[in-house]
């Protein structure tokens, strides 16, 4: 699909920042609708849902306006990916954002180049899943690990994991393969539609491990299989 096939909603109360975001996205060919507050965005969404939402958390006098917007989006049957942009970088805020369905959470001041890359990667992954129509067929066979492919969310012992969309797709390979199975480098790269390069897979695996460690500090279940890939297994198993 071309960028012109996607509509992105930008919710930002600062007019200069909003204009900068809108201009950068439009230069990439995206259709963009923008709003200065939560209520006007929600009124628009009731008539026309975008493919992706980019929102600040503090919207005018609403300190958690972005979070409230995310709750509103959860009321629709169609999952809408969200990228939060915020100066608030506490662990609690990031955790809350992901728990409400955010696929990414970027600190301000943002890098427009990084944002554009993340937007393109995210839309590439979500559109691919829709085209294959298999997001509802995936189910984790690993105890304690749940995945919701239509929301790009994963849960470890009922607690949400802080993962990007690409990292979710990589983790899903372990979840569906099961304990003891080797997930090859090629499979991990293919699962992200080629977004993740072979030489950066280890970095993403480290981030995935760290996401688990935030919930289970002694987590040690993803192991390197030299020359082949990675496997999910107990520490005391060969």
pLDDT band (50, 70, 90) for residue 1:
low
Give the C-alpha separation, 53 to 81, whole Å.
Answer: 6
Whether the predicted pLDDT of 131 surpasses 80: no
Whether the predicted pLDDT of 237 surpasses 60: no
Give tens-digit pLDDT for 150-192: 777 899 999 989 887 778 889 999 999 999 999 999 999 888 7
Residue 26: enclosing H or E segment and its boundaries? helix 15-27
CATH 3.20.20.70 holds for 3-132 = no
pTM of this prediction?
Answer: 0.64
Give tens-digit pLDDT for 84-99: 998 888 878 887 877 7
Residue 187: enclosing H or E segment and its boundaries? helix 185-191
Nearest by Cα to 71 from 85, 60, 82? 82
Whether the predicted pLDDT of 12 surpasses 70: yes
The domain spans of the chain are 3-132, 145-232
CATH 3.40.640.10 holds for 145-232 = no
Any idea how long the chain is? 238
**Does residue 167 contact residue 227 with C-beta atoms inside 8 Å?**
no
């Amino acid at each position: 699909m071309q960028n012109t096939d996607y509509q992105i909603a930008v919710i930002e109360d600062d007019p200069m920042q909003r204009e900068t975001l809108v201009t950068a996205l439009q230069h990439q060919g995206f259709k963009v609708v923008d709003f200065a507050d939560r209520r006007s965005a929600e009124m628009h969404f009731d008539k026309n849902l975008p493919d992706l939402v980019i929102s600040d958390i503090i919207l005018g006098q609403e300190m958690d306006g972005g979070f409230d917007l995310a709750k509103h989006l959860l009321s629709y049957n169609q999952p809408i990916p969200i990228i939060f942009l915020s100066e608030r970088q506490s662990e609690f805020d990031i955790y809350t954002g992901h728990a409400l369905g955010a696929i990414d959470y970027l600190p301000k001041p943002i890098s427009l180049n990084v944002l554009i890359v993340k937007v393109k990667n995210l839309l590439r992954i979500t559109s691919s899943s829709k085209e294959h129509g298999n997001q509802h067929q995936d189910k984790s066979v690993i105890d304690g690990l749940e995945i919701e492919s239509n929301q790009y969310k994963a849960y470890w012992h009922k607690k949400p994991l802080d993962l990007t969309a690409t990292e979710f797709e990589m983790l899903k390979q372990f979840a569906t393969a099961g304990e003891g199975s080797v997930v090859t480098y090629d499979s991990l790269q293919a699962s992200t539609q080629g977004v993740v390069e072979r030489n950066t897979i280890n970095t993403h695996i480290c981030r995935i491990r760290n996401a688990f460690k935030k919930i289970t500090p002694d987590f040690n279940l993803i192991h390197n299989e030299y020359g082949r890939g990675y496997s999910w297994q107990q520490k005391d198993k060969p």
